[in-house]
């Protein structure tokens, strides 16, 4: 049985990924930071699959928490096949880089870039031994071309760095049967993060060219595909999942 480790997998986009992988037969270790109600909701929904699901509390900006997460995942299930770096701290206030505090800057860099490095370092020996691994990172629309992003400088700088990191991992670890890819969600907001595609089609979204909002299911479908053992020809890729919406240039 394949085992996936996902950060921030109890709610939002991460919850839909957790659900998709459970439904496809994976065992899943879910990291969460503080939302015990979200964890309880998942536990209740998948009580019949409790032997394939565990939750580990931890902060992705803290290396010690990340190491403990990997240790508990491996101890419980004996393998780690998929590392899904879903967590990504974000500052919703719109402000210029000059107005960021040092703490805000380091939270963005640690949570969005360094966290992936720490998890990678801990899981890669396991994946190499297995001769199989799937590493998924998250970016933003257009990240592969390193665009400037007004009022999102720290977050975007971390994610653009993560593009290069993901591509390097793909090349360096290919000989071990390990792939690394980045997915870039579009403007998926509020309840749509945990919505299905069918639900999104009930309400037209005039902003998105395809006419509907993106959903957590859209993201989960792509990740499940990339994690498949027969998707090994896809590595080092950055995949936008935006419905054609230009997220970056909405504000000027």
Look at residue 250 in the predicted model and tell me its pLDDT: 61
Q: Please report whether residue 21 resides in a domain.
A: yes
Domain count, the chain: 1
Please determine, for residue 247, whether its predicted confidence score (pLDDT) is greater than 90.
no
Q: Please report whether residue 187 resides in a domain.
A: yes
Q: Please report whether residue 176 resides in a domain.
A: yes
pLDDT in tens, 220-240: 999 999 999 999 999 999 999
Residue that is written with structure tokens 């975007």 in the block = 156
Q: Kindly report the CATH number assigned to the domain that includes residue 61.
A: 3.40.50.720
Q: Please report whether residue 250 resides in a domain.
A: no
Please determine, for residue 248, whether its predicted confidence score (pLDDT) is greater than 80.
no
pLDDT in tens, 148-187: 899 999 999 999 999 999 999 999 999 999 999 999 999 8
Look at residue 251 in the predicted model and tell me its pLDDT: 52
Q: Please report whether residue 251 resides in a domain.
A: no
pLDDT in tens, 112-142: 999 999 999 999 999 999 999 999 999 999 9
Q: Please report whether residue 203 resides in a domain.
A: yes
CA distances from residue 166 to 21, 161, 180, 194, 201 in whole angstroms, order as listed: 22, 9, 6, 26, 33
pLDDT in tens, 72-115: 999 999 999 999 999 999 999 999 999 999 999 999 999 999 99
Look at residue 114 in the predicted model and tell me its pLDDT: 98
Look at residue 110 in the predicted model and tell me its pLDDT: 96
Q: Please report whether residue 119 resides in a domain.
A: yes
Adjacency order of strands within the sheet including 27-32 = 53-57, 27-32, 3-6, 82-84, 133-138, 178-185, 238-241
pTM score above 0.75: yes
Q: What residues make up the domain containing 178?
A: 3-241
Q: Please report whether residue 248 resides in a domain.
A: no
If one counts every other C-beta atom within 10 angstroms of the C-beta of residue 131, the result is 10
Please determine, for residue 193, whether its predicted confidence score (pLDDT) is greater than 60.
yes
């Amino acid at each position: 049985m394949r085992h996936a480790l996902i950060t921030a997998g109890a709610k939002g986009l991460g919850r839909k990924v957790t659900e998709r992988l459970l439904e496809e037969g994976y065992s899943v270790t879910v990291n969460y930071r503080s939302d015990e109600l979200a964890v309880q909701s998942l536990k209740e929904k998948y009580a019949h699959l409790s032997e394939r699901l565990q939750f580990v509390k931890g902060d992705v900006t803290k290396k010690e928490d990340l190491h403990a997460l990997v240790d508990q995942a491996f101890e419980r299930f004996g393998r780690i096949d998929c590392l899904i770096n879903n967590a990504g701290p974000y500052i919703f206030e719109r402000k210029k880089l000059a107005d960021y505090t040092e703490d805000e800057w380091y939270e963005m860099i640690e949570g969005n870039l360094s966290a992936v490095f720490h998890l990678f370092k801990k899981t890669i020996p396991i994946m190499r031994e297995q001769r199989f691994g799937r590493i998924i990172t998250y970016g933003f629309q257009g990240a592969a071309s390193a665009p400037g992003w007004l009022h999102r400088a720290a977050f975007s700088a971390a994610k653009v760095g993560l593009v290069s990191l993901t591509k390097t991992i793909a090349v360096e670890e290919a000989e071990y049967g390990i792939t690394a890819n980045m997915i870039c969600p579009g403007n998926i907001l509020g309840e749509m993060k945990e919505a299905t595609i069918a639900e999104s089609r009930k309400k037209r979204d005039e902003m998105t060219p395809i006419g509907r909002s993106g959903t957590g299911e859209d993201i989960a479908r792509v990740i499940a595909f990339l994690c498949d053992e027969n998707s090994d020809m896809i590595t080092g890729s950055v995949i936008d999942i935006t419905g054609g919406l230009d997220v970056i240039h909405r504000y000027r």
